[in-house]
Amino acid sequence: MPIFGKLSERIDQSIRNHRLKAYIKTLSEVRRLDYSGYSDADLLRQSLELRERANAGETTQELLVPAFALVAEVSERKLGLVPFDTQLLAGAALADRKLAEMQTGEGKTLAAVFAVYLHALCGQGVHVFTFNDYLAERDARWMSPVYAALGLTVSSVQADMSPESRRTAYSADVTYVTAKEAGFDYLRDGLARKPEDLLHRALHFVLVDEADSILIDEARVPLVIAGEKPAEANPSARMAAIAAQLEADADYDTDEFKRNVFLTDEGAQKAERLLGIESLYASEHLAELTGLNCALHAKVLLVRDVDYIVREGRAEQVDSATGRVAENRRWPDGLQAAVEAKEGLEPQTRGQVLGTIPLQHYLSLYPSMAGMTGTALTSADEFKETYSLDVVVIPPHRSNIREDMPPLIYTHPDSKRNAIVQKVLDIHRSGRPVLLGTASVEESEQLAVRLEEAAVPCRVLNARNDKEEAGIIARAGELGAVTVSTNMAGRGVDILLGGGREVEYAQVKALGGLYVIGTHLHESLRIDNQLRGRAGRQGDPGTTQFMVSLEDDLLVRYGLKDELPDNMTGLRQAEPVNTPALERKLTHIQRVANGHQFEARKNLNSYSDTLEEQRRIFRKEREDVLFDRVISSPLSVFDPACYERLLSILGEDTLRKIEKIAALHYMDKVWTDHLDYMNYLKESVHLSSISNRNPLDEFNVNLIRSFTDLPGRVEDQTVQYLQRLRPTSAFDPERDGPKQSTSTWTYAVNDLFLLTRRSIFD
Ligand code: ADP
C-alpha cells in the first residue's frame, strides 16, 4: 500500500476514535441520570414531556440524554435487559446518523431503540429496515414493551398485508419493515388517485439494519411495480434452441471476468443461417440480436445450482452475497424468459412496468439515515462517497478472542477439497462443532457427499432447503455438529455454542468453540467477514480458516497464477503452497476486487441518475395534481367549446374531478411508456458502441429527448379523452372515468449484468 494510503487510513482511524470519545462522554451523562426511583407512570409522564419538547422544536441533541436514560430504565423493567455501555454507545452513534459497526450477538436490536425512540419523539414516523419480514415482525414485537411504556406506537409491515394495514402500520411512531416493502409502498403511492389512498407519510428518519447488505449489495436493485400487459409472442424458446447449437470458442467467447459473452463471426453466421436472415446486425433484426444475446447469456453465464435453482417449476435466483433465494427477484424481461426457456419452464407472467426505483434512490429520499451492521469498516469509503455516512466502530461488550488463521492456499481444487475433508475429519474427531461455508448450492452438496463417504454425518443448509434454516442453525453449535452451508450461514445468523444448553456450552467452549471453514474467498471481504463472525460470539472462543486453490474463480480472474514463481506454475501437490508473498497477493486481490465492484456500481449509477432525476420531477408534478396544488385545465385552453359543453352537463365540481382523474391517468400512462422506452434503450444501447458512439451519452440523450415530450403527451391524451366523452348528468368520474390496472404486483430486478456488460465498452 502506498505511504499516503497508510497515512490516510491512520487519519480516518483517529477521526473515528475522536467520534467514539464524544459518545463516551454522552454515555457518562446518561449513566448519571437515574430514573430507577420513578414509577412506571412517572416514566411515561417524562416521556410525554420529551415529546412536547420535541414538538416545540428542541433538537435530538438536546433531548438525547434524558431520552436514552428513559429507554435504559424501561428496557430493564420491561425486557429484563440492562443495556450494556456498548449498546448506549451504538445508540449514540445511530442517533448521530452514523453507521455503527457492531458484531453479531452484541445486541443491535436493543441498541437501535435508543436512536429510534429519540428520532420518533417528534411524531413524524421512524422506519427501521430489517433484513427480512420475519425480523420486522420479531423485532417490533420484542421491543414493543419499551415503546409502549414510553407512550409510542410501534408496528411492522409484512409482504402479504392489505393496503389498509400498511397505512395503519406507517401511521405508527415506529415501523419495522424491510427496505423492499417500504420501497414497493412508495411505488404504490406513485399510482394513488386520491390523497387518502397514500400509504406512506412524508419520510423522516430511517435506521437500516444489516446496512452493508442493503446499502451496497442490494442498493442497485431496481424495485418494480407492474400491471397487466397484453400477451405477446415469446421468441425465447426458439432463441434457446439456437443458442444450444452454438459451441464455445468456435461460435462464442467470454471475457476474462466471465461477465460477458460475445458471438464470434462464425457464430453470427451460424445464427444467421439458423434464423434464416441476412444479417443479425441489421437494424431490423435488433430483436433477434437482443434475444440471442439473452439466450447465450442464459446458456453460458448463468449456471444452475450456482446462480439459480429450479424449484416448483420456477427458476429462483440465488443471491451470491447471502446464499439465499432472492425472493421475488427477476432478471430483466428478455433474460428471465431466456432462463425459463433454457430450463424448459413455463414462462412467468411479464407485467407492464408502471413504476420503478432502485433501492439506493429510494433510500436517498429519507432526510436522515443511520445504519448498523457487523461489517462496515472495509467499505467505509463507499459509504462515505455514496451516502455521506461515516463508520463508527463500536467495541464489543466482551473482547473478541476468535482466532482468524491466514488462508491456506492449495494448488488445485482436488487437493483443496481433500484437505477440507481431512480438516473437518480432524476437528470433528474432538467433538468440536464445524461450520463449512461453501460457494454454491452445488459445492455444498458435493462436499456433503464427500463427508458422508468419510463417515462424518453433516447437515446441509442452502437455498434449496431454506425452510429448515432455523432448526439447522439452532443445532450448528452442538457437540459434534458439522454444518455445510452456503453464504446463508453468514449474515444475521446467531450460532449458540452447545445449542443453548449450559453444560454442553462449557464443553464446546473448552474444545475451542465453533470452527468455521470457508472454501473460497468472496469478491467482497465483507462477505467473508460475515462468515468469520459466526465464530467467537460475545467473547466466546472460536477459529476461522479459509482454504482456497490457485484455480478458484476469483483468483484466476485476478491473475494470482501470473504472480507465481516459475517453479510453481503447473504444480500440483497435496500440501498448501503458502508463502508470505502469496498471502499478501490474496489480500491485494480482494482489495482490487472490492474497488472493481465499487467502480462497477458507480458506473451503473450513471445509467440510473438521469432517469432518477426525471422520476423526481415527474413525481412532484403528479403530486401537485393529486393534492390539487395546481388546477390545470388544458381542455379549457385547447377546446373551449368542448369545455363549455361538459361544464353545462357535469357542473364545475364533477368536471374538475374528471379532469384531474384523466390527468393522473395519462400521466401514469406516458410514464409507463417512457419506462418501456428506457428499457428498450438499455437493452439496445450497448450495441451502439459498435458504431463508436458512447453508449452512456447515447442513452442519456435519448432519454432526455423522450422526457421533454412527456408534458405535451399528457395534455394531448387528456384533452382527447375529454373530447371523446359523452357523459350524462349521472356521470361519476371515479366509476365511469379511465380505469386503472385492477391488479398490480411488485418485484425486484437483477439487472447487474446489463450494465456490467456495458461497462466494458465505457
Ligand atoms: P445482534 O442483532 O447484534 O446480533 P440481537 O439484538 O439479536 O443481536 O441480540 C443478541 C442476544 O443478546 C439476544 O439473545 C438478546 O436477548 C441478548 N441481549 C441483548 N442485549 C442484552 C443485554 N443488555 N443484556 C443481556 N442480553 C442482551
Higher pLDDT, 686 or 296: 296
Are 484 and 436 in contact by the 8 Å Cβ rule? The answer is yes
Choose the weakest-confidence range: 65-79, 540-554, 669-683.
Answer: 669-683
Mean pLDDT over residues 211-233, rounded? 83
Task: Calculate how far, in angstroms, residue 761's C-alpha sits from the geometric centre of ligand 1.
Answer: 48
**List of residues 6+ apart from 661 with CB closer than 8 A:** 193, 733, 734, 737, 738
**Other C-beta atoms within 10 Å of 478: how many?**
21
Which residue is closest in CA terms to ligand 1's atom 17? 107
How much of the chain exceeds pLDDT 70, in percent?
Answer: 94
Sign of the torsion formed by the C-alpha atoms of 566, 570, 575 and 576:
positive
Tell me which of 3.40.50.300, 3.60.10.10, 3.30.360.10, 3.90.1150.10 is the CATH number of domain 11-228+360-393. 3.40.50.300
The pLDDT tens digits of the residues spanning 591-604 come to 888 888 888 778 77
Mean pLDDT over residues 479-502, rounded? 87
- pLDDT of 755 reads 41
Are 109 and 147 in contact by the 8 Å Cβ rule? The answer is no
Number of residues written out for the chain: 762
How much of the chain exceeds pLDDT 90, in percent?
Answer: 56
Q: What's the rounded Cα separation, in Å, for the pair 248 and 252?
A: 5
Q: What's the rounded Cα separation, in Å, for the pair 316 and 325?
A: 6
Q: What's the rounded Cα separation, in Å, for the pair 657 and 401?
A: 68
Are 223 and 362 in contact by the 8 Å Cβ rule? The answer is yes
Q: Could you tell me the residue ranges of all domains in the chain? A: 11-228+360-393, 236-348, 407-577, 603-743
Task: Calculate how far, in angstroms, residue 74's C-alpha sits from the geometric centre of ligand 1.
Answer: 16
Are 542 and 509 in contact by the 8 Å Cβ rule? The answer is no
Mean pLDDT over residues 294-303, rounded? 88
Higher pLDDT, 587 or 504: 504
Which residue is closest in CA terms to ligand 1's atom 9? 107
Task: Calculate how far, in angstroms, residue 39's C-alpha sits from the geometric centre of ligand 1.
Answer: 26
Matching fold, domains 407-577 and 603-743: no
Which residue is closest in CA terms to ligand 1's atom 2? 108
Are 184 and 352 in contact by the 8 Å Cβ rule? The answer is no
The pLDDT tens digits of the residues spanning 614-637 come to 999 999 999 999 999 987 789 999
- pLDDT of 334 reads 77
Please report, to the nearest 10 degrees, the dihedral formed by the alpha carbons of residues 14, 19, 20, 25 taken in order: 130
Q: Which CATH superfamily is domain 603-743 in?
A: Helical scaffold and wing domains of SecA (1.10.3060.10)
Buried b / exposed e across 717-755, counting CB within 10 Å, b at 16+? Answer: bbbebbbebebeeebebeeebbebbeebebbbbbbbbbb
The pLDDT tens digits of the residues spanning 177-198 come to 999 999 999 999 999 999 999 9
- pLDDT of 332 reads 74
Q: What's the rounded Cα separation, in Å, for the pair 300 and 287?
A: 20
Per the prediction, the chain carries an average pLDDT of: 89
Task: Calculate how far, in angstroms, residue 105's C-alpha sits from the geometric centre of ligand 1.
Answer: 6
**Other C-beta atoms within 10 Å of 584: how many?**
11
Mean pLDDT over residues 204-224, rounded? 92
Residue 104 Cβ inside 6 Å of ligand 1? The answer reads yes
**Residue corresponding to grid cell 414531556:** 49
What does DSSP assign to residue 210? T
Amino acid present at 437: G
Closest by CA to 184, choosing from 138, 129, 134, 139, is 129
Mean pLDDT over residues 729-757, rounded? 76
Q: What's the rounded Cα separation, in Å, for the pair 340 and 94?
A: 44
Confidence tier at 605 by pLDDT (50, 70, 90):
confident
- Which residue among 75, 81, 104, 400 is best mutated to probe the pocket of ligand 1, counting the most ligand atoms within 8 A of its Cβ? 81
pLDDT surpassing 70 at residue 122: yes
CATH topology for 407-577 is Rossmann fold (3.40.50)
Which residue is closest in CA terms to ligand 1's atom 19? 107
Name beta bridge partners: 311.
314
**Other C-beta atoms within 10 Å of 349: how many?**
10
Q: Which CATH superfamily is domain 236-348 in?
A: SecA, preprotein cross-linking domain (3.90.1440.10)
The pLDDT tens digits of the residues spanning 277-291 come to 888 888 788 778 888
